[in-house]
Amino acid sequence: MKNQFDEKNKKKFINEFCHHGVNEDLAERVYTSRLLGKNKELVLHGGGNTSVKSVTKDTHGEKHNVIFVKGSGSDLSSIKPKDFPAVKLKNLNKILQKKNVTDDEMVKYLRQNLIDTSSPNPSVETLVHSFINEKFVDHTHSNAILEITNRKDGYNICKKVFGNKIIIIPYVMPGFLLARKVSQLYKFNPQVQGMILYRHGIFSYGATAKESYDRMIKLVSLAENYLKSEKIKKIKKISIKKIRFKSSDIAPLIRGAISQNKNYILNFRTSRSLLSVINSLDAKKILSRGVVTPDHVIRTKPKYLVVNINDCKNLKDIEIKLKKEIQKYIKNYLKYFETYNESRDRNTLLDPIPQIIAIQNIGLFSVGKSLVQAIINGDIAEAAIKIIGNIEKRNTFTSIGMKNIFDVEYWSLEQAKIKKDNKPLSGKVTVVTGGTGVIGLATAKKFKDMGSEVIIIDINKKRIQAEKSKGNFDVYYCDVRKRNEYKKILNHLKNKYGGIDIVISNAGFAIQSEISTITDAELKKSFEINFFSHQIVASESVEVMKMQNKGGCLLFNISKQSVNPGLNFGAYGIPKSALLSLCRQYALEYGKLGIRSNGVNADRIESGLLTKEMIKKRAKSRNIHVKDYLKGNLLKKQVFAEDVADAFYNLSISEKTTAAILAVDGGNIEASMR
């Protein structure tokens, strides 16, 4: 493993932080913490933790010996000084004299000793860090270390590789018990450079950040070199059939099967190295043996679901098989819960659905309440599968046992690490066409605020670029007049999100002309964007919704022109009238599948479509002043894009409403639906 420590960089880093008043020890701590965090072979997504013992002042100016330790929930790769709460060291040793300390007591105790009570909770491993008498302490879940410890003969190999350089701590649940175990063993071996936490990870420590970091790299390199020297056996594979199904065809089937009661995002990935393990003959067995480090269980659950679809002739067969396998998985999970929960009846059952689903010959699907969570879960599973595969090539993968896994999975301090997103649209996927326009963006923002994943598509390359650089939404170029282009986007979304739930068909184009003199070409062009593109978007989206078999929601941006034509605006209004019928037709034909279809008739909203120039013209055609045009409604109030966004949102959550048209025009009796 390459040592990334660079004295020059460290100095630059420290100078920058110290310039902003950060304690020098802490600045040094941040520098090597990030080095560790950026190395994916050592640390993944919030894993690992680091600390430094130093001196700091409280608000009264009084000095204290403290430990700056990683706050729970932060990520080492991007950690900042403020993510290290300072805990007074003086009292921490006292807690060791107690026989047992509950999780709540431990958290309370640590919080009571914080210098700044507004700090995040100190890491669950704070006590372990505090009992090691070295200034800097680093802890990672290094892949190479796990490949050595998580096998049948792991203990002997550790001895062989590290000799007396380290202490091996038998597996103990993280938290108070581990801290006590460490303090006992450390006392007799303070001269060693590190500790292997059996089937969990590794600690290194030193007088400087560099020393502790160097030792981590050295110890991990010893493990890597040993692994390289080992003989490798071939893993037996299942038959690699020519795959007739694509991941994008399977994704909505899985998403449907797992999201009948709740909504989930399903993210797909595949690679040769992933398939080399997933396709092994024993995949079902080895991917059910448990986690490679206890931390992973809250992300991946104890077991992965492995499904072989080689005997499926069509997508229907796959759907039936998936449903059966998922039901079986849930049943087994409930059994696991009942078995290990006996003595702790205060636990409530966690979501029993699989978080990681491996389809042999296809790849890996990871589940999450949001895309970010699904990707994190997938990254962790991918790393674990690689570790398990490497162990199986050498020996037999062994985990910490289901009881230990259960205790960590149902540990309140672990559960607290997962962000609970419970907004009305959490786990849903919304596509907005014409998404970079004024109404499109306001709508995208509204749906994102309400918890949905939002994808915006548009044909305006300049605005797409602008939105991409802001990074608020997943943005794509797509001409919705072209069926193949929209299909391609949907296939991508099926792989990335598992499918779609809400489609806001919003793209439009206004054109003004007297109806008898408009050219055929112009009228056809208007129909293409204001009617046919909606049909393309709706029909293709409904196909995905049908595969998911969990309902869906179509929302059309129609226009009051559909029921209340304006002078010289026929080329726009007539296709919009057809669009209103289209909206109702979808409601009629797909209601039985739980797919709702509703529309919004908005009017006089200043946007890219109704520009200042256009407003002038419209006001003139109605013979009124421009200033009266925008407020020319029953309420005498100007209507904004955000009002339209609210209407779309309200229709999206009105589960019993379909074939409805909601007017957002400040009141216009001529345009009211009758």
Residues that bind Zn ion (CB under 5 A): 201
Q: Please, which residue, 132 or 536, has the CB nearer to Zn ion?
A: 132
Q: Please, which residue, 202 or 353, has the CB nearer to Zn ion?
A: 202
Q: What angle do CA 331, 337, 342 make, to 5 degrees?
A: 135
One-letter amino acid at 111 equals: R
Alpha-carbon distance of 443 to 460, in angstroms, equals: 17
- With beta carbons less than 8 A apart as the criterion, state whether 209 and 203 touch: no
- With beta carbons less than 8 A apart as the criterion, state whether 566 and 573 touch: yes
Using alpha carbons, select from 159, 183, 164, 187 the residue that is nearest to residue 172: 183
Bridge partners of residue 168, in order along the sequence: 196
Which residue blocks in 429-569 are alpha helix, DSSP H?
438-449, 461-470, 483-497, 520-527, 533-548
Q: C-beta of 201: minimal distance to Zn ion in Å? A: 5
Q: Please, which residue, 238 or 413, has the CB nearer to Zn ion?
A: 413
Q: C-beta of 638: minimal distance to Zn ion in Å? A: 57
Tokens of 220: 């991990």
- With beta carbons less than 8 A apart as the criterion, state whether 457 and 489 touch: yes
Give how far Cα 171 sits from Cα of 197, 217, 483, 487, Å: 6, 22, 57, 51
Helix then strand then coil, % of the chain, to nearest 5? 45, 15, 40
Indicate the length of the chain as a whole number: 674
Q: C-beta of 200: minimal distance to Zn ion in Å? A: 6
Burial class (CB in 10 A: 0-12, 13-18, 19+), 422: exposed
Alpha-carbon distance of 299 to 302, in angstroms, equals: 9
Q: C-beta of 173: minimal distance to Zn ion in Å? A: 11
Q: C-beta of 86: minimal distance to Zn ion in Å? A: 21
The bridge status of strand 552-557 relative to strand 502-505 is: parallel
DSSP labels, 276-329: HHHTBTTHHHHTTS--SSGGGHHHH-SS-EEE--TT--SHHHHHHHHHHHHHHH
Using alpha carbons, select from 409, 343, 338 the residue that is nearest to residue 173: 409
Alpha-carbon distance of 173 to 124, in angstroms, equals: 11
Q: C-beta of 54: minimal distance to Zn ion in Å? A: 22
Which secondary structure element, helix H or strand E, spans residue 206, and what is its range?
strand 201-206
Q: Please, which residue, 128 or 454, has the CB nearer to Zn ion?
A: 128
- With beta carbons less than 8 A apart as the criterion, state whether 291 and 267 touch: no
Select the residue whose beta carbon is closest to Zn ion and give its number: 201
Q: Please, which residue, 171 or 477, has the CB nearer to Zn ion?
A: 171
- Give every CB contact of residue 251 below 8 A, 6+ residues apart in sequence: 266, 268, 365, 494, 495, 498, 499
Q: Please, which residue, 147 or 392, has the CB nearer to Zn ion?
A: 147
Q: C-beta of 210: minimal distance to Zn ion in Å? A: 22
Q: C-beta of 290: minimal distance to Zn ion in Å? A: 16
- With beta carbons less than 8 A apart as the criterion, state whether 4 and 39 touch: yes
Q: Please, which residue, 32 or 280, has the CB nearer to Zn ion?
A: 32
Using alpha carbons, select from 141, 126, 139, 142 the residue that is nearest to residue 92: 126
Dihedral class, residue 552 (left if φ above 0, else alpha if ψ from -120 to 50, else beta): left
- Give every CB contact of residue 97 below 8 A, 6+ residues apart in sequence: none
Q: C-beta of 179: minimal distance to Zn ion in Å? A: 12
Q: C-beta of 195: minimal distance to Zn ion in Å? A: 11
Q: C-beta of 216: minimal distance to Zn ion in Å? A: 13
Q: Please, which residue, 197 or 287, has the CB nearer to Zn ion?
A: 197
Q: C-beta of 423: minimal distance to Zn ion in Å? A: 31
Q: C-beta of 170: minimal distance to Zn ion in Å? A: 15
Q: C-beta of 294: minimal distance to Zn ion in Å? A: 7
Alpha-carbon distance of 408 to 355, in angstroms, equals: 16
Q: Please, which residue, 201 or 434, has the CB nearer to Zn ion?
A: 201
One-letter amino acid at 200 equals: H
Alpha-carbon distance of 648 to 506, in angstroms, equals: 10
Bridge partners of residue 52, in order along the sequence: 68, 136
Q: Please, which residue, 125 or 474, has the CB nearer to Zn ion?
A: 125
Q: Please, which residue, 201 or 451, has the CB nearer to Zn ion?
A: 201
Q: Please, which residue, 195 or 579, has the CB nearer to Zn ion?
A: 195
Q: Please, which residue, 142 or 652, has the CB nearer to Zn ion?
A: 142
Mapped onto helix, strand or coil, the DSSP state of residue 153 is: coil
Q: C-beta of 386: minimal distance to Zn ion in Å? A: 19
